[in-house]
């Protein structure tokens, strides 16, 4: 990241709400103890997710890719009083870590953890969602989209993370690595899908906001 963009992000953070102390602790412990800490949403994106959730005031949220629970906590802050967030994580070794911070945030009763392959778990969910956040295996983004689309209420929102994939999506006409290819194909499909409205925000690694018509 250039000095200009680093300084701009610092300015943005200095003029936004401070990071929740529990999220700050979660962030630090993730960086100290968990592999690939860059997967964590972090302060800026977390605050954006929280604000979007509070604007929508969802009753039901689905998250694909829990990691250590940072984004789940941010999204759950916007739930209606009796709302519920379902979050799916492949790595069950993270369960104790996630539960620790859900308890600290007093959100354990509002978040239902599922462990396993999201492509297997999604069809078993008997719910309709106001908001879905996709941040799991980049190779499977289009599969996830097809699986969750009919579970999203008309007027509901889908958020997809990492859609710019460090700029790799514009480097090749036909990406040959599976992760870039997955994001590329997802973006191309979304572009042509007339059942939705969509816009990409250049936030961190790209966040697509999708509204189902």
First to last CA, the chain: 37
Residue 8 confidence (pLDDT) = 86
Residue 51 confidence (pLDDT) = 98
Given CA atoms 139, 128, 96, 70 in this order, what sign does their dihedral have?
positive
State the Cα angle at 191 between 187 and 192, rounded to 5°: 125
Q: Which token pair is 209? A: 């906001």
pLDDT (tens digit, 0 to 9) for every residue of the chain, 213 residues total?
A: 567 667 888 899 999 999 999 999 999 999 999 989 988 999 999 999 999 999 999 999 999 999 999 999 999 999 999 999 999 999 999 999 999 999 999 999 999 999 999 999 999 999 999 999 999 999 999 999 999 999 999 999 999 999 999 888 887 666 678 999 999 999 999 999 999 999 999 998 999 999 999
Q: Which domains does the chain have, with CATH numbers?
A: 3-212 (3.40.50.150)
């Amino acid at each position: 990241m250039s000095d200009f963009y680093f300084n701009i992000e610092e300015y943005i953070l200095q003029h936004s709400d401070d990071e929740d102390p529990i999220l700050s602790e979660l962030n630090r412990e993730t960086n100290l103890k968990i592999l690939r800490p860059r997967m964590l949403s972090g302060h800026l994106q977390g605050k954006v997710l929280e604000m979007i959730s509070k604007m929508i005031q969802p009753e039901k949220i689905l998250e694909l890719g829990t990691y250590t629970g940072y984004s789940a906590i941010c999204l759950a802050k916007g739930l209606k009083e009796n709302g519920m967030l379902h979050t799916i994580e492949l790595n069950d070794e993270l369960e104790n870590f996630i539960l620790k911070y859900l308890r600290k945030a007093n959100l354990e009763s509002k978040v239902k953890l599922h462990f396993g392959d999201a492509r297997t778990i999604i069809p078993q969910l008997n719910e309709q969602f106001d908001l879905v956040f996709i941040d799991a295996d980049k190779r499977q983004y289009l599969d996830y989209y097809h699986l969750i689309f009919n579970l999203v209420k008309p007027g509901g929102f889908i958020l997809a993370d990492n859609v710019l994939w460090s700029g790799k999506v514009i480097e090749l006409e036909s990406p040959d690595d599976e992760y870039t290819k997955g994001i590329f194909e997802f973006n191309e499909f979304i572009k042509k899908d007339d059942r939705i409205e969509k816009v990409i925000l250049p936030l961190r690694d790209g966040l697509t906001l999708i509204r189902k018509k």
